[in-house]
């Protein structure tokens, strides 16, 4: 009876070790093996980048000066897989660029992760006007639940804010879903408002060029 108990106890220990090994083996990836990434999933975030390539976005300053930016491109880059232990990982980048002569506005979101981990998210915006470049990164971004311009209310507004010392740099940028940039505030007091604050624009997946890329 004692031997049967020892045998049963040993078998239980072996089974426990086997299950633990299978769990560990399943949760790990062999070195230098192919890792499949999740499908692109940031569809809701595309609403920050509305419009079609070729559309004009007009901003108006306090003195009624206008500037027309043309949407040059809208892009989605997706890494579908990578080789483990190679320094690569899963990555998605989506955004748009607008131009006016030598002036540019480039804004995008990105997500990166390895294996089945939660993605690290980041939002960036770079604007170059009158030869001066202003950059905003993830830590400068926040979501405002409600924001009003000229009695027009917006919800879930993405705001970039950073205190620059140079007058020519921008200190605040406000972006509304399916409208795009609604307001840009410069350190020198200039305020540029989007001429279109009421007409929603198309931000569907097919308004972007989609490309799967490799990590080398």
Strand partners, 181: 175
pLDDT tens for each residue of 192-213: 999 999 999 999 999 999 999 9
Between 20 and 121, name the one with better pLDDT.
Answer: 121
Is 132 inside any structural domain?
yes
Residue 181 is classified by DSSP as E
Is 27 inside any structural domain?
no
Please tell me the predicted confidence (pLDDT) of residue 23.
Answer: 37
pLDDT tens for each residue of 130-184: 999 999 999 999 999 999 999 999 999 999 999 998 999 999 999 999 999 999 9
Is 15 inside any structural domain?
no
pLDDT tens for each residue of 62-72: 999 999 999 99
Of 94, 64, 62, 66, the closest CA to residue 78 belongs to: 94
Residues 30 and 38: their CA atoms lie apart, in Å, by 19
Is 11 inside any structural domain?
no
Please tell me the predicted confidence (pLDDT) of residue 132.
Answer: 96
Question: Domain containing 102: what range?
Answer: 34-212
pLDDT tens for each residue of 6-64: 434 444 444 443 433 333 333 455 677 899 999 999 999 999 999 999 999 999 999 99
Is 178 inside any structural domain?
yes
pLDDT tens for each residue of 70-118: 999 999 999 999 998 888 999 999 999 999 999 999 999 999 998 888 9
Number of domains in the chain: 1
Residue 38 is classified by DSSP as P
Q: Cα 53 vs. chain centroid, distance in angstroms?
A: 19
Is 16 inside any structural domain?
no
Six-digit token pair at 66? 């206008």
Is 28 inside any structural domain?
no
Of 107, 17, 38, the closest CA to residue 69 belongs to: 107
Residues 182 and 83: their CA atoms lie apart, in Å, by 42
Six-digit token pair at 157? 């507004």
Question: What is the greatest pairwise CA distance in the chain?
Answer: 97
CA angle 212, 50, 75 (to 5 degrees): 20
Six-digit token pair at 160? 């970039």
Please tell me the predicted confidence (pLDDT) of residue 28.
Answer: 53
Is 3 inside any structural domain?
no
Torsion angle (degrees, nearest 10) of CA 139, 141, 146, 151: 140
Please tell me the predicted confidence (pLDDT) of residue 85.
Answer: 84
């Amino acid at each position: 009876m004692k031997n049967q108990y020892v045998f049963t106890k040993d078998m239980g220990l072996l089974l426990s070790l086997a299950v633990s090994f299978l769990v560990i083996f399943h949760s790990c990836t062999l070195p230098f093996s192919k890792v499949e990434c999740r499908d692109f999933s940031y569809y809701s975030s595309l609403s920050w980048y509305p419009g079609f390539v070729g559309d004009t976005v007009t901003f108006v300053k306090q003195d009624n000066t206008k500037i027309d930016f043309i949407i040059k491109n809208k892009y989605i880059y997706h890494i579908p897989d990578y080789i483990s232990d190679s320094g690569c990982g899963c990555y998605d980048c989506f955004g748009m660029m607008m131009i006016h002569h030598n002036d540019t506005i480039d804004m995008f979101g990105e997500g990166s992760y390895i294996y089945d981990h939660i993605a690290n998210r980041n939002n960036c915006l770079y604007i170059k006007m009158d030869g001066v470049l202003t950059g905003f990164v993830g830590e400068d971004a926040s979501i405002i639940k409600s924001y009003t311009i000229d009695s027009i209310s917006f919800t879930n507004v993405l705001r970039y804010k950073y205190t620059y010392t140079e007058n020519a740099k921008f200190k605040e940028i406000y972006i509304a879903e399916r409208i795009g940039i609604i307001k840009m505030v410069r350190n020198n007091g200039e305020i540029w408002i989007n001429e279109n604050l009421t007409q929603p624009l198309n931000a569907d997946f097919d308004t972007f060029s989609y490309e799967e890329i490799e990590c080398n």
